[in-house]
Amino acid sequence: MNHDSKIYIAGHTGMVGSALYKRLKTEGFNKLITATRDQLDLLNQKKTEDFIKNNKPELVILVAAKVGGILANSKYPADFLYENLTIQNNIIFSCKEANIKNLIFLGSSCIYPRNCEQPMKENMLMSGKLEETNKSYAIAKIAGINLCESISKQFGLNYFSIMPSNLYGPNDHFDSNLNHVIPALISKFHFAKINNEKKVDVWGSGNPKREFLYIDDLIDAIMHLIKIDRSELNNVFSKLGSMFLNVGYGEEIKIKDLVNKIAKLTDFDKEICYDLSMPDGTPKKLLDISNIKSLGWGPKTSLDKGLKITYDWFKQNL
């Protein structure tokens, strides 16, 4: 890609999309294509087809998705499956129909089995039963990976996927109990401190381990994959036998330890209670990131640094 390449970011207002848009602009890419939900309903196949056909981007980066934490996925499994399948199918197949050469699809580490061997390698996909609490979301993402790979093989296009670990950072959603663990905890502990509450309830046992990747590190990875020689990427895919890459921090942390970090960050020093009636989700989720590291990328932002930046952004945007 050069700086005059037309790049469509599908989902540019979310945490990933907004950070990606900002980075591309900063680096001098001046033909970025975007559309808000009001301008383009990605659930509408005809409108999506027309948009892609009329704009003819050289690269599509598909980060649009319906996302949420364990509770949201558990409460609305049909919504998560239908909306994610529909959005990604509409965009990916519209790109194929318009002969768009390049597409990057953003997936999730939840694609791996609940009791997957650790760290999770790309070839472990579909090697066991999925975690029940986010099965619908995972199935949609697995379908997206396979659609990109199938189109690439059948039509000779460059469509591939990246699977990030749990993401966090500025512009995340902090305003609902349906959201991911870090924004949910930051919001909960911040307001408990402000309101002088005597305790904070945390869902689950706190024993599961998770891997967290700061948003700017993911954007670094995407930019790196855009810029490297395609033959390098194809060599890795050829060795893997699949066309997706894990992108993670490379280290995990117990949720209890994360809770303690956020309590300290927000100056909350009262009681912390774990609600064992709420689900834990997958026991462990650590990605093997050796393949993307072999291409020259690696994470830079420590969890402590990333949490501080994220909390500072949260306070400034209340």
Quick one: pLDDT at residue 69? 81
Token couple for 56: 């003819």
Q: Residue 26: how many CA atoms within 13 Å on its side-chain side?
A: 9
SS3 207: coil
Quick one: pLDDT at residue 175? 75
pLDDT along the chain (318 residues), means of 10: 95 97 97 98 98 98 92 91 98 98 98 97 97 95 98 98 98 79 96 98 96 99 97 97 98 98 98 94 95 98 99 97
Q: All domains of the chain, ordered by start, with CATH?
A: 7-316 (3.40.50.720)
Residue 8 bridge partners (DSSP):
33, 60
**Going by C-beta distance under 8 Å and a sequence separation of 6 or more, which residues neighbour residue 304?**
261
| Pairing label, strands 212-214, 166-168 | parallel
Quick one: pLDDT at residue 138? 97
Which amino acid makes up residue 306? G
Closest by Cα among 276, 309, 301, 310 to 183: 310
Closest by Cα among 318, 140, 152, 114 to 233: 152
The catalytic residues are: 137
Token couple for 194: 């402000």
Token couple for 141: 């993402």
Q: Check if the beta carbon of residue 284 is closer than 8 Å to that of residue 119.
A: no
Quick one: pLDDT at residue 308? 99
This prediction's pTM: 0.96
Token couple for 203: 């869902």
* Cα(44)–Cα(60) distance, integer angstroms: 18
Q: Alpha helices, DSSP H only, in the chain? A: 15-26, 45-55, 70-75, 77-97, 135-155, 181-194, 215-227, 230-240, 255-265, 290-293, 303-316
